[in-house]
């Protein structure tokens, strides 16, 4: 059992102890492959003729897919409106910052280096540079940033970024990877695609907070179809590259999970995170016709699945 909603479990326990029926109780647990599944269960007590309690009868439904789908639709709508709003603001702010940046620099240089004026203008200039950096990051998740599509082998893109990740990963963390060379060709901006992987892995590293941990990175081909088994509501039918990053860190509760892709949502200390890593990642993946799915539970780690459409006709 991985759900930690203790109040709900208490109510259920009370129903069971008092042999009452219960309806639509939702919980999550890991299946034998270690994947988190959401279940909904309804049960009724049954008794023999003499009124002796014999047990519960009921049925359990797996609601993992519908949960994901619900999230994905609201997420996409949210990103579209927030993306254009933030993009518009960031664009205007960029234009406003430009003269502050240039003029503060010019005026600073007109004063001797050890004067108060020089130092004050230096501070203004530095603050302006930080504001510009933030604006750049906002532009990256909004639709305003430009990107250059190229038909590339997704295996090469991931392998290259993985090398970089392996060179910077702290020693408390073990990374295991399984990348299929035959995943296929994608039409993407390679640098932005690598940013997606880096942002997701960076979060996993942060989540361990220096404690030992494992991250599993895998790449394979996945078919998205129309049956309930293979459908992903926000994706067109077809073949996709599926990049999975799974960690065995502390995981997230349902409330956090619902907000992780929101721009500026962070659970980190002020100054530690801006909350733009995942919103940037999902913004990039949406622009490429894909999606990111996240699943997690407290104490059970987190799994992120990135789907990117494969170019048709290039099968290997």
Does residue 276 touch ligand ATP according to CB under 6 A?
A: yes
Cβ proximity to ligand ATP, 189 vs 300, nearer residue? 300
Mapped onto helix, strand or coil, the DSSP state of residue 208 is: helix
Q: Which residue is nearest to ligand ATP (CB)?
A: 277
Under rule CB under 6 A, residue 161 binds ligand ATP: no
Would you give the distance in Å from CA 216 to the centre of its chain?
15
How many Cβ atoms sit within 10 Å of the Cβ of residue 128?
A: 19
User: x/- string (CB under 5 A) for Mg ion, residues 274-293?
Assistant: ---x----------------
Residues 201-220, mask of contacts with Mg ion (x by CB under 5 A): --x-----------------
Q: Tell whether residue 180 is a contact of ligand ATP (CB under 6 A).
A: no
Q: Rg (Cα) of the chain, in Å, rounded?
A: 25
Instruction: Report the site for ligand ATP in 277-296 (rule: CB under 6 A).
Output: 277-279
- Told to check if 192 binds Mg ion by CB under 5 A, we report no
Select from ligand ATP, Mg ion, none the partner in contact with residue 249, using the beta carbon and a kind-dependent cut-off of 5 to 8 Å.
ligand ATP
Q: How many Cα atoms are found within 13 Å in the side-chain-facing hemisphere of 247?
A: 25
Nearer to ligand ATP, 276 or 308 (CB): 276
Question: Rule CB under 6 A: which of 227-256 touch ligand ATP?
Answer: 247, 249, 251-252, 256
**Residues shown for the chain:** 316
Rounded CA separation 257/295 (Å): 8
Q: Which residues have a Cβ under 8 Å from the Cβ of 221 and sit 6 or more positions away?
A: 180, 182, 183, 184, 239, 240, 241, 242, 310
Residue 94 contacts which entry, Mg ion, ligand ATP, none (Cβ below 5-8 A, type-dependent): none
User: 151-184: b or e for each residue (b if 16 or more CB lie within 10 Å)?
Assistant: ebbbbebbeebbeebeeebeeebebeeebeeebb
Determine contact, residues 37/43, Cβ cutoff 8 Å: no
Residues with Cβ within 8 Å of 37's Cβ and at least 6 positions away in sequence, in order, are 28, 29, 30, 31, 62, 64
300 binding ligand ATP? (CB under 6 A): no
Rounded CA-CA distance 178/93 in Å is 43
Residue 266 sits in the site that holds ligand ATP (CB under 6 A)? yes
Per-residue x/- track, 220-259, Mg ion (CB under 5 A): ----------------------------------------
DSSP β-bridge partners for residue 194? none
Beta carbons within 8 Å of 230's beta carbon, 6+ residues apart: 223, 224
- Closest CB 266 distance from Mg ion, rounded Å: 8
**Residue 267 interacts with, from Mg ion, ligand ATP, none (CB under 5-8 Å by kind):** ligand ATP
Of 240, 261, 254, the closest CA to residue 304 belongs to 261
Q: Decide which of Mg ion, ligand ATP, none touches 252; Cβ closer than 5 to 8 Å per partner kind.
A: ligand ATP
Query: Which tokens go with 27?
Result: 């919980």
Q: Among 128, 204, 241, 308, which residue interacts with ligand ATP (rule: CB under 6 A)?
A: 204
278 vs 285, which CB is nearer to ligand ATP? 278
**Would you tell me which residues interact with Mg ion (CB under 5 A)?**
203, 277
Give the residues lining the site for ligand ATP (CB under 6 A).
Answer: 199, 203-204, 206-207, 247, 249, 251-252, 256, 260, 265-268, 273-279, 302
């Amino acid at each position: 059992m991985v759900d930690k909603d203790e109040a709900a479990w208490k109510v259920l326990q009370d129903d069971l102890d008092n042999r009452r029926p219960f309806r639509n109780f939702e919980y999550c647990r890991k299946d034998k492959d270690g994947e988190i599944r959401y279940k909904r269960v309804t049960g009724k007590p049954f008794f023999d003729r003499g009124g002796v309690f014999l047990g519960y009868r009921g049925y359990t439904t797996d609601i993992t897919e519908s949960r994901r789908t619900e999230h994905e639709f609201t997420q996409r709508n949210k990103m579209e409106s927030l993306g254009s709003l933030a993009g518009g603001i960031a664009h205007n702010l960029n234009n406003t910052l430009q003269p502050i940046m240039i003029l503060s620099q010019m005026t600073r240089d007109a004063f001797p280096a050890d004067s108060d004026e020089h130092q004050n203008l230096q501070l203004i200039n530095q603050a302006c540079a930080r504001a510009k950096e933030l604006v750049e990051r906002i532009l990256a998740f909004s639709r305003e940033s430009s990107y250059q599509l190229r038909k590339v082998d997704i295996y090469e893109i991931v392998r290259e970024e993985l090398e970089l990740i392996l060179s910077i990963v702290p020693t408390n963390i073990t990374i295991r990877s399984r990348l299929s060379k035959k995943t296929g060709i994608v039409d993407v901006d390679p640098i932005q695609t690598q940013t997606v992987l880096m942002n997701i892995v960076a979060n996993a590293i942060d989540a361990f907070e220096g404690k030992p941990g494992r991250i599993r990175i895998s790449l394979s081909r996945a078919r998205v179809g129309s049956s309930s088994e293979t459908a992903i509501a926000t994706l067109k039918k077809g073949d996709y590259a599926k990049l999975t990053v799974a960690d065995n860190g502390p995981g997230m509760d349902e409330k956090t999970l619902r907000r992780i892709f929101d721009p500026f949502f962070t659970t980190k200390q002020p100054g530690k995170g801006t909350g733009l890593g995942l919103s940037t990642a999902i913004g990039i993946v949406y622009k490429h016709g894909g999606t990111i799915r996240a699943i997690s539970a407290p104490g059970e780690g987190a799994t992120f699945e990135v789907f990117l459409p494969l170019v048709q006709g290039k099968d290997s």
